[in-house]
Amino acid sequence: MKSLWLALLLSGVAGAEQAAEKSTALSDGKTFAGWVGDTAKTWRIVDGAFVGGTLTDKVPRNEFLRTTRPYTNFVLRLQFKLIGTEGFVNGGVQVRSEPAKNPPNEMVGYQCDIGEGWWGALYDESRRNKVLIKPDAADVAKAVKKGEWNTYEIRCEGRRIQTWINGVKMIDYTEADEKLPQHGLIGLQVHGGGKSEASYKDIRITELR
């Protein structure tokens, strides 16, 4: 009887852990529910994906689509595609970030970068304004499918941020500045200065304890 009770208890614990680890979709693929940004001019929805920018005109400035709620510890998985014909073609995924006050279109915080020369790098957007860590060039060459859909996996836990592109490890960074917040919004960027489109879809998050 005791062994049966223990088995049921362990089964319940395992079930609870599995439930806690289930991912949640951050986009329904049809609307901007749960997100805010310049959805009048910059961002649109095409075949279930958020698409920022255009190939006909240069994006005039950085634009971000951001979540309406913050996250702390999580695993974020999404598909991204970056294409462009002229100028600076770049995008990125913001984590643990907040909207900038001036200019209001910017975001402040960690960016998991996307674009030639920046693939997989962790950049401190509108704060320290520098690359915090870059992946090995050989790993980038092995991982990135240029002009196609790629998978970004971003794990934020404690002061540590780890990322993978198409299953290949990009960076493993631990924040040394204990004053910087380790929570905030998630954002999707299309960078200004290029005739480009940054697309994001299948965005799912698993919150960690």
Q: What is the DSSP string of 144-205?
A: --TTS-EEEEEEEETTEEEEEETTEEEEEEE---TTS-S-BEEEEEE-TTEEEEEEEEEEEE
Domain range for residue 122?
A: 25-207
What is residue 137's DSSP assignment?
H
**pLDDT at position 18, please?**
47
The sign of the CA dihedral 117, 120, 121, 127 is positive
- CA angle at 45 for the pair 113 and 144, rounded to the nearest 5°: 30
**pLDDT at position 138, please?**
98
Q: Is residue 29 part of a domain?
A: yes
What are the angstrom distances between the C-alpha of 86 and each of 90, 119, 175, 195, 198?
A: 11, 18, 35, 5, 14
Q: Is residue 7 part of a domain?
A: no
Of the candidates 108, 90, 91, which has an alpha carbon nearest to the alpha carbon of residue 99? 108
Q: Is residue 12 part of a domain?
A: no
Is 77 exposed, middle or buried, given 0-12, 13-18 or 19+ CB atoms closer than 10 A? Answer: middle
Q: Is residue 6 part of a domain?
A: no
Kindly report the backbone phi and psi dihedral angles of residue 29, in degrees, each rounded to the nearest multiple of 5, phi listed first: 75, 0
Q: Is residue 179 part of a domain?
A: yes
**pLDDT at position 63, please?**
98
Q: Is residue 13 part of a domain?
A: no
Q: Is residue 173 part of a domain?
A: yes
**CATH classification at residue 201:** 2.60.120.560
**pLDDT at position 21, please?**
65
Q: ω into residue 60 within 30 of 0, thus cis?
A: no
Kindly report the backbone phi and psi dihedral angles of residue 58, in degrees, each rounded to the nearest multiple of 5, phi listed first: -70, 135
Rg (CA), the chain: 18
Q: Starting at the edge strand that comes first in sequence, how are the strands of the sheet with 91-99 ordered? A: 35-36, 63-67, 185-190, 91-99, 107-114, 122-125, 131-133
Q: Is residue 11 part of a domain?
A: no
Q: Identify the segments of the chain with pLDDT beneath 50.
A: 1-2, 4-20
Rounded to two decimals, the pTM is 0.90
Q: How many domains does the chain have?
A: 1
Question: Are 63 and 192 within 8 A, CB to CB?
Answer: yes
What are the angstrom distances between the C-alpha of 26 and each of 41, 100, 125, 168?
A: 22, 22, 22, 23
